[in-house]
RNA sequence: GCUCCCGUGGUGGAACGGUAGACACGUGCGCCUUAGGAGCGCAUGCCGCAAGGCGUGGGGGUUCAAAUCCCUCCGGGAGCACCA
């Protein structure tokens, strides 16, 4: 019988569609596993071969868990709002709704063609009013708690997409979506106060099993700096007193300050600059303003100019010149720094350019020379008055204490994280549920009026203002508070708001009068295993953590981290080793792979490519080997018999132990390899013992569910192989009666002996020394020692020849 | 520039400090076949007829034993990049 993957896979997929055997129970009974993929953005291009790599991994785990008797929630849905769909809709002059629906249908068809065991009864779509109603509810919850606010602030503006962007969505100064350089604009926008959660977002990383790399990126993004805010007081030429607050993480270097430098944008610049310096300073400020932030921050040169005024050192009273320089950024810290060239690389460069002498206040450890650059390490204090002779860490504490005592400083913490800008001047997103009333100001839309639905009567083209602002039917409303005519907020929300809570919706996807059933969420969540790409490290994964913590505080959730374990799926590259892209012409279409080789082959190939987390190039040749493996397995079904075979039985159980452990450890490549070895052994046997064959099919079923079901059915069983209990490896069979002992002489392998498993050390040594081969290597030499590693090897060390 | 990760056959990759190269691709030879192959068998790190020697980016070290641990250099990737 031929292995006709197309017919066979169609048969099983139809059955799964009709019978929904993978629907999760309403609530878990016993152990539960919530196994989640990052839901896809249903783009017009269709599924990428990279998607099924993560989906297959979660499917293998989900199927194994079910076989182990756990309640499993394994859902799929669509992150359907967003720019690419909207832009395409504008291009073809259709409503984005239609485009999104078509894309979703295509994605669903493609994903279902791969036989994943999703619970399709729980599908969610973020662009559906029944979903975004609750995204709007989430906005209101944040608003109620003062965590959503509108403010005028300098924001990132993408001139191509005609919308503002969150900091997380600006990569190297460019729009994350389209690559256009981002401009700074002063605009009134909606923000989520994620900064209020900075410390908890940092602390929470300790308790979750996420890749260190992702945690490091989040830590870095949150960017906690501990130090001091120090006031440097001064007097202008006209006699007015002023004070410059400076943030530093190195108060220990305070005695090494040679200048204080402000950002060119600092408000004090206008009021303290000495009249004689004004022209030069103004020219410098204008020039700095003209430069894009990128240009300014990329230069290694530290350019600046003096303001012609001094400030006093808070502890020594010494006069310290006040400057401005382009390397000081207005948004970070206090927008002012103390310049310590001896112990900071940037300050060193600045001092070199303008002739300040470095003043060393920390003696480097012996052997390290001063003078060739800044010394940023630890050491003993020097040139620091009363602090000389103590270690710098202690000096940092003592100096801040002294500053506090004279009211010239305080301990301070600064964060890199900034509030999440969530407004978008675009159509295809969830409308922000706020009404703007001339009398009452901002009025939240009452919950009973949700959802605020997207109007259809609009011109979608972006103009820099939300297209919603041009729909009279949308924006003309009466104020819910006073009843007077008012206007709806016309911006929509960042799509990352939609995806920040979707994993909660899967627990009770049809709830109509609340976002989720708290009891069901408490029963299923948090997510036990979350799989997706690393590109979301400081986007979705940070936002989801933030929102989870907010909902925890609201009392809606009994946990405050969304996912216990996170795994990153490695990229699949084109055959040329480059990222797949249309322009390179190296894109592999999953539909073609399924048609040519079958879904099971596709799934196993992606698992077999290499370590799950590594990037790996596609190889059309390589897929053939997997296909052959399944062909062979298929062929073996005709040779299943009742006779038993001790060696095959043992190998089957050894394979079972390995495959089980490898799935747990995400080592799918070696699990597949073990299955191949077993099939090769079955192929060499007279006939395949039915008992071992069944065990094999059970192990195969998470990887190649269609073929496994088919061959299981051929054994005459009515019940699906997916419903069988995951077998347990027989420990007795994992231990061999005989073992191979490697013999090394002076570290080189010289022989290998087969000995009984229970052999004692003395007899083993005897057997080893009796070996002919070993004798030829030790003849005429004295043995210094013999190292015995039980069950592994014997290492003979000879005395050095004279 | 800083931080982290990684360098193993022609290729993707295996290898609790203990037989380096599992498994698979490719290649070679042979077989089945009218023929073809995404079929079957055997071989396949390098040098060597063999015995044996050499081999995990280069150099050094620790160890009875190093792909694995330490130092250093080279190469590649990722993240951060004036975070005061």
Given CA atoms A362, A365, A371, A373 in this order, what sign does their dihedral have? negative
Helix axes A622-636, A668-684, angle to 10 degrees: 50
Q: Which of residues 391-430 of A touch strand B (CB under 7 A)?
A: 414, 416
* Strand B lies under 7 A from the Cβ of residue A250: yes
How far is Cα A614 from Cα A730, in angstroms, rounded to an integer?
33
B19 C1' – A654 CA distance, angstroms? 20
Which residues, in sequence order, are bridge partners of residue A485? A478
How confident is residue A175, by pLDDT bands cut at 50, 70 and 90?
A: confident
B39 C1' – A703 CA distance, angstroms? 24
A438 CB-near residues (< 8 Å, 6+ apart): A484, A486
Q: Is the pLDDT of residue A294 over 60?
A: no
- Residue A537 gets the label, from left (phi > 0), alpha (psi -120 to 50) or beta, of alpha
pLDDT, tens digit, 9 for 90 and up, residues A444-500:
999 999 999 999 888 777 777 778 888 888 889 999 999 999 999 999 999 999 999
Q: What is the mean pLDDT of chain A?
A: 91
Nucleotides of B under 7 A from a protein CB: 4, 11-16, 18-20, 22-26, 38-41, 52-53, 64-66, 78-84
How far is Cα A697 from Cα A681, in angstroms, rounded to an integer?
15
Nucleotide nearest to A295 (CA to C1'): B82
Report the pLDDT value the prediction gives residue A300, as an integer from 0 to 100: 64
B71 C1' – A369 CA distance, angstroms? 22
Nucleotide nearest to A228 (CA to C1'): B84
Q: Is the pLDDT of residue A372 over 70?
A: no
* Strand B lies under 7 A from the Cβ of residue A128: no
Nucleotide nearest to A787 (CA to C1'): B64
More confident residue, A171 or A275: A275
Q: Which of residues 318-357 of A touch strand B (CB under 7 A)?
A: 326-330, 332-335, 337-338, 344, 346
Decide: residue A433, CB within 10 A, 0-12 exposed, 13-18 middle, 19+ buried. Answer: buried
Report the pLDDT value the prediction gives residue A628, as an integer from 0 to 100: 92
Lowest mean pLDDT among A517-526, A679-688, A730-739: A730-739
Q: Is the pLDDT of residue A319 over 50?
A: yes
Instruction: With CA atoms as reference, report the closest residue to A454 among A469, A468, A465, A439.
Output: A468
Lowest mean pLDDT among A306-310, A363-367, A711-715, A722-726: A363-367
Instruction: With CA atoms as reference, report the closest residue to A256 among A329, A351, A334.
Output: A351
B81 C1' – A560 CA distance, angstroms? 32
Q: Which of residues 644-683 of A touch strand B (CB under 7 A)?
A: 667, 669-670, 672-673, 676-677, 680, 683
Q: Is the pLDDT of residue A611 over 90?
A: yes
How far is Cα A120 from Cα A108, in angstroms, rounded to an integer?
10
Q: Is the pLDDT of residue A375 over 80?
A: yes
Q: Is the pLDDT of residue A168 over 90?
A: no
* Strand B lies under 7 A from the Cβ of residue A740: yes
Q: How many residues does chain A have?
A: 802
* Strand B lies under 7 A from the Cβ of residue A629: yes
How far is Cα A504 from Cα A521, in angstroms, rounded to an integer?
6
* Strand B lies under 7 A from the Cβ of residue A213: yes
Nucleotide nearest to A623 (CA to C1'): B25
Q: Is the pLDDT of residue A177 over 90?
A: no
Given CA atoms A43, A49, A50, A53 in this order, what sign does their dihedral have? positive
Q: Which of residues 509-568 of A touch strand B (CB under 7 A)?
A: 534, 538
User: Is A125 strand, coil or helix?
Assistant: strand
Average pLDDT of span A110-128:
97
* Strand B lies under 7 A from the Cβ of residue A53: no
pLDDT, tens digit, 9 for 90 and up, residues A25-49:
999 999 999 999 999 999 999 999 9
pLDDT, tens digit, 9 for 90 and up, residues A626-658:
999 999 999 999 899 998 999 999 999 999 999
* Strand B lies under 7 A from the Cβ of residue A195: no
pLDDT, tens digit, 9 for 90 and up, residues A766-790:
888 888 888 888 887 888 888 988 8
Q: Is the pLDDT of residue A304 over 70?
A: yes
More confident residue, A333 or A123: A123
Q: Is the pLDDT of residue A511 over 60?
A: yes
Report the pLDDT value the prediction gives residue A295, as an integer from 0 to 100: 63
Nucleotide nearest to A172 (CA to C1'): B81
Q: Tokens representing A773?
A: 């081969």
Instruction: With CA atoms as reference, report the closest residue to A36 among A95, A105, A118, A103.
Output: A118
How confident is residue A298, by pLDDT bands cut at 50, 70 and 90?
A: low
Report the pLDDT value the prediction gives residue A299, as an integer from 0 to 100: 63
How far is Cα A649 from Cα A629, in angstroms, rounded to an integer?
20
DSSP state of A147: -
**Which residue's CA shows the smallest distance to C1' of B12?**
A609
**Which residue's CA shows the smallest distance to C1' of B4?**
A213
Nucleotide nearest to A216 (CA to C1'): B79
Strands A319-325 and A304-312, how do they pair? antiparallel
* Strand B lies under 7 A from the Cβ of residue A2: no
Q: Is the pLDDT of residue A226 over 70?
A: yes
Contact status, residue A535 vs residue A568, Cβ threshold 8 Å: no
Nucleotide nearest to A220 (CA to C1'): B80
Report the pLDDT value the prediction gives residue A802, as an integer from 0 to 100: 46
B3 C1' – A593 CA distance, angstroms? 40
Q: Is the pLDDT of residue A579 over 70?
A: yes
A748 CB-near residues (< 8 Å, 6+ apart): none
Nucleotide nearest to A331 (CA to C1'): B83
Nucleotide nearest to A791 (CA to C1'): B18
Q: Which of residues 759-798 of A touch strand B (CB under 7 A)?
A: 773, 785, 787, 789, 792-793, 795, 797
Contact status, residue A437 vs residue A220, Cβ threshold 8 Å: no
Contact status, residue A104 vs residue A80, Cβ threshold 8 Å: yes
B16 C1' – A184 CA distance, angstroms? 55
How far is Cα A608 from Cα A618, in angstroms, rounded to an integer?
11
How far is Cα A617 from Cα A613, in angstroms, rounded to an integer?
13
pLDDT, tens digit, 9 for 90 and up, residues A672-726:
999 999 999 999 888 999 999 999 999 999 999 999 999 999 999 999 999 999 9
| pTM of the full structure | 0.92
Q: Is the peptide bond before A170 cis (omega within 30 degrees of 0)?
A: no
């Amino acid at each position: 019988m031929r292995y006709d993957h197309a017919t066979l896979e169609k048969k099983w997929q139809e059955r799964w569609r009709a019978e929904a055997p993978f629907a999760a129970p309403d609530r878990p009974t016993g152990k539960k596993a919530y196994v989640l993929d990052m839901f896809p953005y249903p783009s017009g291009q269709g599924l990428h071969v990279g998607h099924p790599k993560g989906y297959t991994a979660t499917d293998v785990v989900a199927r194994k868990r079910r076989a182990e008797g756990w309640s499993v929630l394994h859902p799929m849905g669509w992150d359907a709002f967003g720019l690419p769909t909207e832009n395409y809709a504008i291009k073809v002059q259709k409503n984005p709704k239609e485009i999104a629906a078509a894309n979703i249908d295509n994605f669903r068809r493609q994903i279902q063609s791969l036989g994943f065991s999703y619970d399709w009864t729980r599908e969610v779509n973020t662009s559906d009013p029944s979903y975004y109603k609750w995204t709007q509810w989430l906005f209101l919850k944040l608003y109620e708690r003062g965590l959503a606010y509108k403010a005028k602030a300098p924001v990132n503006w993408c001139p191509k997409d005609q919308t503002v962007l969150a900091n997380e969505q600006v990569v190297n100064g460019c729009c994350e979506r389209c690559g256009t350089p981002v401009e700074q604009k002063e605009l009134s926008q909606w923000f989520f106060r994620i900064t209020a959660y900075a410390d908890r977002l940092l602390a929470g990383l300790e308790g979750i099993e996420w890749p260190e790399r992702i945690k490091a990126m989040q830590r870095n993004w949150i960017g906690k700096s501990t130090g001091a805010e120090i006031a440097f007081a001064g007097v202008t030429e006209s006699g007015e007193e002023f004070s410059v607050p400076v943030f530093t993480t190195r108060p220990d270097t305070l005695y090494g300050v040679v200048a204080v430098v402000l950002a060119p944008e600092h408000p004090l610049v206008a009021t303290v600059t000495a009249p004689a310096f004004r022209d030069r300073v103004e020219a410098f400020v204008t020039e700095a303003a003209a430069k894009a932030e990128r240009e300014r921050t990329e230069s290694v040169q530290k350019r600046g100019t003096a303001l012609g005024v001094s400030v006093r050192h808070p502890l020594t009273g010494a006069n310290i010149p006040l400057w401005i320089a382009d390397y000081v950024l207005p948004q970070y810290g206090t927008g002012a720094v103390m310049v310590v060239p001896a112990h900071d690389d940037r300050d060193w460069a600045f001092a070199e350019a303008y002739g300040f002498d470095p003043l060393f206040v920390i003696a480097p450890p012996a052997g390290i020379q001063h003078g060739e650059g800044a010394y940023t390490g630890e050491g003993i204090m020097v040139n620091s008055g009363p602090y000389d002779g103590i270690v710098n860490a202690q000096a940092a504490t003592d100096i801040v204490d002294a500053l506090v005592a004279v009211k010239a400083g305080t301990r301070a913490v600064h964060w890199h994280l900034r509030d999440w800008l969530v407004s978008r001047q675009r159509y295809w997103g969830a409308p922000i549920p706020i009404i703007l009333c001339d009398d009452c100001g901002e009025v939240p839309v009452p919950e009973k009026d949700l959802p605020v639905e997207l109007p259809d009567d609009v011109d979608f083209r972006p103009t820099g203002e939300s297209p919603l602002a041009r729909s009279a039917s949308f924006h003309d409303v009466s104020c819910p508070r006073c009843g007077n005519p008012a206007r709806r907020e016309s911006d929509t929300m960042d799509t990352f708001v939609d995806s920040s809570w979707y994993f909660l919706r899967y627990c009770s996807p049809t709830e109509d009068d609340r976002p989720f059933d708290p009891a069901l969420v408490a029963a299923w969540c948090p997510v036990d295993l979350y799989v997706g790409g690393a590109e979301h490290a400081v986007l979705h994964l940070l936002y989801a953590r933030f929102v989870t913590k907010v909902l925890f505080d609201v009392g809606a959730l009994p946990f405050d981290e969304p996912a216990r374990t996170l795994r990153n799926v490695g990229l699949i590259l084109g055959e040329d080793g480059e990222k797949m892209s249309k322009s390179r012409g190296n894109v592999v279409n999953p539909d073609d792979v399924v048609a040519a080789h079958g879904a099971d082959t596709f799934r196993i190939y992606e698992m077999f490519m290499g370590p799950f987390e590594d990037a790996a190039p596609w190889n059309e040749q390589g897929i053939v080997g997997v296909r052959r493996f399944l062909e062979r397995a298929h062929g073996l079904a005709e040779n299943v018999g009742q006779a038993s075979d001790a060696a095959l039985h043992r190998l089957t159980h050894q394979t079972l132990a390995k495959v089980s452990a490898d799935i747990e450890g995400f080592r799918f490549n070696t699990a597949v390899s073990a299955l191949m070895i077993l099939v090769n052994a079955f192929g060499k046997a007279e006939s395949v013992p039915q008992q071992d064959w069944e065990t094999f099919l059970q192990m195969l079923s998470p990887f190649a569910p269609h073929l496994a079901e088919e061959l299981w059915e051929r054994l005459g069983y009515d019940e699906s192989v997916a419903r069988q209990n995951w077998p347990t490896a027989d420990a007795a069979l994992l231990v061999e009666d005989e073992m191979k002992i490697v013999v090394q002489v002076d570290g080189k392998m010289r022989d290998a002996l087969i000995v009984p498993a229970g052999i004692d050390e003395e007899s083993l040594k005897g057997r080893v020394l009796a070996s002919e081969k070993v004798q030829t290597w030790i003849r005429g030499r004295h043995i210094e020692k013999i190292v015995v590693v039980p069950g592994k090897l014997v290492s003979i060390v000879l005395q050095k020849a004279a």
